Amino acid sequence: MTGKKMRSNFEATASVSVQNDAKNLVEFCVFRYLVRSGADVHPSLWDAAFRRLTFTAMLAWQRPYQEDLRSLNNASNRSKLPRGLVGEEAFVRIASSIPGAADRVTAHRLYRVLSRNMKGLSFEVWDTYIKELCGVLDERKLYQRTEASTLGLEPGETILSVGKNKRQPVQKWNGTMVWPGRLTLTDRALYFEANSLTSHQAPVRLDLTRGDAIVHKKRVGPFGAEVFDSAISVASKPDSEPWILEFVDFGGEKRRDTWLAIVKEIDTAYWFIGTYGPKDKDPSLKYMDGSKLGRKRALASASNSIARLQAVQHMLGQSSEDPSSLLQFYSIKDAPSAELVFETLAVTNWAGRMDSRAKELAVSNGVGEETPGAGQNAMGEDGSIYLSKWMTAPTWNSTKSQNFWKAYKGGISRGLVLGKNYVVGGLTNLDRAVRAWQEQSRVIDKTKATIDGAKLKGIPNNVDLLKELMLPFSIIAVNFQKLKRWEEPGVTAGFLIAAMGVVYMNWLRYLFPTMLLTCAGILVALRGLKVQGRLGDDFGKLTIRDQPETNTIQKIMALKDALTSLEDFLQKANIALLKLRTVALSRHLDSTNEVLWSLLAAGIVSWFVPFRYLLAAVLVDQFTADLPFRRKSVEEFFNRVNDWWSMIPATPVEVLPPENTSNTTDAHLPESNQGEAVLQALSEWLGDDQ
């Protein structure tokens, strides 16, 4: 089809609002070609002309106007290669639409890895990356032809990665025995072939299709001494015997981390299939055109993400980037708002056109432009349907999910729809879900930065910070002790008379709501001052003074192992108190507003409801929280609280230099004074004055 015909088709099918942006014409031309391929990996990736064309399309999308195109064409004629640097937005928009080259979930991270913090992505890097990706896929096909019969693979089982290196082998630990050999990962299992004198022994298999495999890092070593942090532990289910696999790597831990990530990616893919996909024997699948391929599409997505990770590592070596960040499923499993991404991926993989027989057999409850929920279906951009009976995951019933799909029904994603996940001039469901996830991730990253800044090194500094945070409570405790000791008889007598009066007049029921409303009033006042700009950025900041340097050797000898856990405990306690301080001092207005309304609501309810009823409600709540009919709601509530808590930043902490930097501790002590050295080091670590 010529360019003129393509443009005439665009003008005939697209709305005026879509035609007004020249980028949409580029999208129309690219998507119109890509939508024809139903392959998991676009076959044209092996074509050099296609790689040049896609890169040129990214440049054209980034600079769609005539002046830029003319200079681009002139440069292309001179060098035969596209010139220019592609930005992140253009890469995400175009590259993620090419099957196999990138996916929408990890496209931003892939771009940052390929561009390596440069101003943009050059054609040389793009071309090299695609060549490496094709090489990985070709290598898989070669292994599939040569090793499938040796491993005894099941029909349709695909080899994804083979771990073999004569200098750095894979070793399987069985107690204190070590067996070097070859490890193979497929889209269904792990296979290990122990080395023999001339070849390999018969393979042993560990299944990964349950979706609940236990995979984590493991230390290994001779005679049970866990000295080498280079292994992983893999168990197909919680109660099965794990495999201990060591990845010998003299250059670091990246090899082990890569295998840990790709094994978890396959396990998470099966978790996704089991949680968000229909059952394999669901009779409605045969009445939904294309839905039977959902499981295959999900596994292909995981397979392609692993291939992209391998291509990047072949291209750039063992980069500092976390391997899991480039894997579609594993990277977002525990991320905030990731449930929306999983839901849209489920619709992408399993939604299909409904057969006419489905209505006659009443396979679904309601069809049409309905939002998901009880008895309602979810719809893809192209009108494909994801049946409500498949929505067994509890996330479908959450308020966040309902609002997300209602927004889609309201027309937020309007554009020219060419196919599933191909919308010209608009956002797909997956685009919106990924944006929501990324926005919340950015907020959490900023919050995490404040938390990292509040984590102090060393026990003395953490003890000093804890003392500073606990100072108001210490003052209250000291004054209360003064009352108990009758150091000021008049004050103590007045307190006793007031307390007895409250008890005698039965005013205890007003005590708690009064405290809540008082706290709310203080928050209102501080919030108002913050909004007016009368509270500076340093308001609420804590200042402590750093401790003088101490003898490191003494610490290592006496207390390093014993006090590491104590340091971690103090850090967590300080972070919790710093977050509470942030809310109380209106340093994070969103959190302050939520706490403010919560305190007001709780205070008003407590004011009008008798205390005995509230106490009864608390008792009922505590004794019914673990019952089956409430367990899911309680878990969802605590998950929301945890998400909210994770987004509260910590109050900044300023650490001043020590007043006295002289070291009064001798660097070398005789053996007869080791006991005194331990006691002295303990005092220094606890921050006691000497």
- Given pLDDT bands bounded at 50, 70 and 90, which one contains residue 552? low
Range in 97-101, 186-190, 402-406, 454-458 the model is least confident about: 454-458
Q: What percent of the chain is modeled with pLDDT above 90?
A: 34
Q: Is residue 139 part of a domain?
A: no
- Looking at the predicted structure, is the pLDDT value of residue 608 above 50? yes
Would the pLDDT of 307 be above 90? yes
- Give the CATH number of the domain where residue 247 resides: 2.30.29.30
Q: Which of 272, 305, 329 is the last residue of a domain?
A: 329
Asked if residue 147 is part of any domain, the answer here is no
pLDDT at 488: 81
Phi, psi of 80 (to 5 degrees): 65, 0
Average pLDDT over residues 252-278: 93
In a domain, 580, yes or no: yes
Q: Are residues 125 and 205 in the same domain?
A: no
Verify that 429 and 486 share a domain, yes or no: no
Q: Taking the CB of residue 337, how many other CB atoms lie within 10 A of it?
A: 20
**Higher per-residue pLDDT: 492 or 592:** 592
Treating both helix axes as pointing N-terminal to C-terminal, what angle do 429-454 and 338-350 enclose, rounded to 10 degrees? 160
pLDDT over 50 (residue 41): yes
In the prediction, which pLDDT does 657 show?
A: 84
Closest CA to 388 of 288, 289, 270: 288
Other beta carbons within 10 angstroms of residue 175's beta carbon come to 7
Residue 215 CA to residue 212 CA, distance in Å, equals: 9
Residue 117 has pLDDT above 80, yes or no: no
3-class DSSP state of 109 = helix
Q: Are residues 269 and 245 in the same domain?
A: yes
Better-scored residue on pLDDT, 264 or 479:
264
For residues 573 and 510, state if they share a domain.
yes
Which residue has tokens 């498949």? Answer: 390
Q: Is residue 514 part of a domain?
A: yes
Give 327's contacts (C-beta < 8 A, 6+ positions apart): 106, 261, 262, 264, 265, 302, 305, 306, 309
**In this structure, is residue 417 part of a structural domain?**
yes
Give percent of the chain above pLDDT 70.
81
Do 504 and 624 sit in the same domain of this protein? yes
Distance CA 636, CA 531 (A): 33
In a domain, 70, yes or no: yes
Answer with the one of 329, 350, 371 that is the final residue of a domain.
329
For residues 114 and 179, membership in a common domain is answered with no
The C-alpha torsion from 579 through 584 and 585 to 588, rounded to 10°, is: 60
Question: Which of 134, 160, 188 represents a domain boundary (last residue)?
Answer: 134
The enclosing H or E element of 298 equals: helix 294-316
Lowest mean pLDDT across 83-97, 234-248, 506-520, 609-623: 609-623
Same domain, 211 and 111: no
Of 254-258, 346-350, 661-665, least confident by mean pLDDT is 661-665
User: How far is Cα 234 from Cα 173, in angstroms, rounded to an integer?
Assistant: 12
Q: Would the pLDDT of 605 be above 70? A: yes
- Over residues 596-606, the mean pLDDT reads 90
552 and 533 within one domain: yes
Given a cut of 90, is residue 47 above it in pLDDT? yes
Is residue 141 assigned to a domain?
no
Same domain, 531 and 617: yes
Q: What's the total number of domains in the chain?
A: 4
Q: Is the pLDDT of residue 45 over 50?
A: yes
> Residues 48, 195: one domain?
no
Distances (CA, A) of 184 to 131, 189, 206, 245: 23, 8, 11, 12
Rounded to whole angstroms, how far apart are CA atoms 5 and 74? 24
Whether residue 434 is found in the same domain as residue 464: no
Task: Please check whether residue 523 lies inside any domain of the structure.
Answer: yes
pLDDT at 667 over 60: no
pLDDT of residue 370: 44
What is the model's pLDDT at position 670?
Answer: 45
Residues in the chain, total: 690
Domain range for 240: 152-329
Q: Are 570 and 466 in contact (CB under 8 A)?
A: yes
> What is the reported pLDDT for 562?
59
pLDDT for residue 23 is more than 50: yes
Residues 627 and 542 in one domain: yes
Give the predicted TM-score (pTM) of the model.
0.73
Q: Give the pairing type, strands 542-545 and 653-656.
A: parallel
